[in-house]
Amino acid sequence: MLEELLIFTRGGLILWSSCRALGAAALKGSPIDALIRSCLLEERSADASFSQDNYALKWTFHNDLGLVFVAVYQKILHLLYVDDLLAAVRREFSQIYDPKRTSYDDFGDIFRQLHREVEARAEEMKKSKQALSSRPQPALSQKKVGPKGRRGDSRGAAANKGGSGAKDDSDGDDSGNKDQNTLANGAFKGQENGARKENSLARPVVVKGKENGGPKDNGAFDVSKLQKLRTNKKNVAADNGTKKLTKPDTKKKGKQDRVWDDKPSNKKLDFTDPADERGDEVTDNVAVIEGESMMDKDEDLSSDSEDEEVEDGPKKKGWFSSMFQSIAGNNVLEKSDLQPALKALKDRLMAKNVAEEIAEKLCESVAASLEGKKLGSFTRISSTVQTAMEDALLRILTPRRSIDILRDVHAAKERGRPYVIVFVGVNGVGKSTNLAKVAYWLLQHNLSVTLAACDTFRSGAVEQLRTHARRLQIPIFEKGYEKDPAVVAREAIQEATRNKSDVVLVDTAGRMQDNEPLMRALSKLINLNSPDLVLFVGEALVGNDAVDQLTKFNQKLADLSAVPTSRLIDGILLTKFDTIDDKVGAALSMVYISGAPVMFVGCGQSYTDLKKLNVKSIVKTLLK
């Protein structure tokens, strides 16, 4: 049974609802709001369906009029007529739609009629399928023996016709049928070989220089073909001899010797901190040395690498021919018109390190938003697709909520507790290093920071974090190795509360998304301490693996959670961003698959190399 059919504009104005018009009961919860948040606004409108609680939702668009049609029904019913009903409602409603009109009470009768028609058609199709499935099927032995025997007759007749002439067509029909039936049923190899030997006794027939000795005569050959092969071999040998003679005699240049400087280099290669007699490192406060963090600097959008586009080489075609070549063939866009431009756009996104699955879904979503839309007289399809994709990327990468951590820290400080950030991720992505960068940035805003060494799994992890704490002159809470990280984090938060620290940064062990024990320990840490922010630290170098990492991290955190409302990843810290040139697709893949914003970008080795994500710059780089 259909629960509701809703018609609304892309701006959010509800034009007609079956619940209101027909007096049906309202839906439990808000599945349509969830559809808008999770699919329509996240460029997942190309998906076939969406599920929320006990409901399944399907939808379609009228892009030219800017209308959205949504059907809601119980998930367990599997209604077969929903797609037909949406298409019929879309067709009928578009005929009476007026942008100045806001009430469509008279559409209820039309909807009842359409609903009855599609239900009747679905019932007829169901009955016809049941009738076809209930028909008795012939026996398997009749299927196998009959047709193969007849085919054996025709093959035997054709063989006799070709080998002995037309007068032998009627000879040996019975015996031929018996042999063919035996071979068709796969009796024995000896019978098959015997039949071949009998066929090989037939007299050879010479036709146009060919000796046809039967199927067993492997020595048969065509004289004319043999002569052609000999002639070709001579020509090839002659050509090879000519190539060898005409090939230029080029000698490979030897490797040139490297020129070394006579004077030894005075360049400092040891960058470790000096140590005193006890072996403890003597460090100074680096807050004065390093300077201002890049997080507080406004990035210049008009950089030469982004805005200047130099065209190499002359244009191959004039403006007149190129303009008319890319003009739409008709005013209404169809899917076939969009495919070439979308294929080129998908290849461009994948070349920028966007995961293939994400690029495919984005192109499908753009096609769904443009199909049926009317174009102007001289509007290019490629530019229309480019603009639609740019808008989609901006919507995806722009955070949907506030990511002002400093404001949240001050709000937690007013409540008398520290603000807790947990850093999670796979092995070797730079969690500890970028945790120190975040600590340095917070110190510059006059906030007190405490580090929690909860990586009790990897050797040297505590010492690494201890070094960062000494260089930044901030306290660190540690309990050594082989301890429960959830308990260590809880005690660190309690200690920071007693010392009135503003922020606690929790370092965790790197773990692969398939490591069940470590993922269970991480879920326990998050559920026990309820951090304010869970940051996923990921490399900007990954491509398709970014989808697998974030998907499985969120899935494990949800499955292994001991509380009903599980905590998932809240934000992303993208590392090694200075090593990827224009391959910035990992940021798009991570945001698309998780819905979490990129809050920090690591772009170097020093404490100041931490900045915000420039969304416009990323979009421009992806589409360049």
Structure tokens belonging to residue 114: 């359409």
Distance CA 168, CA 191 (A): 24
Query: pLDDT tens digit string along 330-341?
Result: 568 888 888 889
Identify the pLDDT of residue 525: 93
Q: Mean pLDDT over residues 96-119, rounded?
A: 86
Identify the pLDDT of residue 463: 93
Residues 6+ apart with CB under 8 A from 403: 571, 597, 599
Domain assignment of residue 323, yes or no: no
Beta bridge partners of 507: 423, 453
CATH code, domain with 383: 1.20.120
Distance CA 102, CA 97 (A): 9
Domain extent at residue 563: 405-617
Q: 442 pLDDT exceeds 60?
A: yes
Angle at 394 between CA 393 and CA 398, to 5 degrees: 120
Distance CA 139, CA 549 (A): 53
CATH code, domain with 447: 3.40.50.300
Beta bridge partners of 505: 421, 451
First and final CA of the chain: distance in angstroms?
Answer: 49
What sign has the CA pseudo-torsion 514, 516, 518, 524?
positive
Distance CA 575, CA 476 (A): 23
Q: Mean pLDDT over residues 199-208, rounded?
A: 42
Domain assignment of residue 193, yes or no: no
Distance CA 128, CA 131 (A): 5
368 pLDDT band (50/70/90 cuts)?
confident
Q: 68 pLDDT exceeds 60?
A: yes
Residues 459 and 356 placed together within one structural domain of the fold: no
Q: 104 pLDDT exceeds 70?
A: yes
3-state helix, strand, coil in the chain (%, to 5): 50, 15, 40
Place of tokens 């030997």: 197
Identify the pLDDT of residue 199: 44
Q: What number of helices (H) and strands (E) belong to the chain? A: 22, 15
Higher-scoring residue by pLDDT: 518, 48: 518
Distance CA 508, CA 510 (A): 7
Residues 103 and 11 placed together within one structural domain of the fold: yes
Domain assignment of residue 40, yes or no: yes
Indicate the residue among 355, 381, 397 that finishes a domain. Answer: 397
Domain assignment of residue 555, yes or no: yes
CB 526 within 8 A of CB 557: yes
CATH code, domain with 94: 3.30.450.60
Number of domain units in the chain: 3
240 pLDDT band (50/70/90 cuts)?
low
Helices within 530-571 (DSSP H only): 545-559
Structure tokens belonging to residue 160: 């006799």
Indicate the residue among 380, 397, 414 that finishes a domain. Answer: 397
Q: 521 pLDDT exceeds 60?
A: yes
Residues 592 and 540 placed together within one structural domain of the fold: yes
Q: Mean pLDDT over residues 393-406, rounded?
A: 87
Identify the pLDDT of residue 581: 83
Identify the pLDDT of residue 258: 60
Distance CA 365, CA 393 (A): 11
Residues 359 and 443 placed together within one structural domain of the fold: no
Least confident among 79-83, 223-227, 505-509: 223-227
Distance CA 367, CA 333 (A): 10
Higher-scoring residue by pLDDT: 541, 181: 541
Identify the pLDDT of residue 235: 59
Residues 6+ apart with CB under 8 A from 570: 533, 534, 535, 596
Q: What DSSP string describes 146-183?
A: HHHHHHHHHHHHHHHHHHH-GGGTTTTHHHHHHHHHHH
Which SS3 state, helix, strand or coil, does residue 20 take?
A: helix
Helices within 371-484 (DSSP H only): 381-397, 405-414, 431-444, 461-472
Residues 450 and 345 placed together within one structural domain of the fold: no
DSSP 39: I
Residues 392 and 436 placed together within one structural domain of the fold: no
Identify the pLDDT of residue 148: 43
CB 562 within 8 A of CB 527: yes
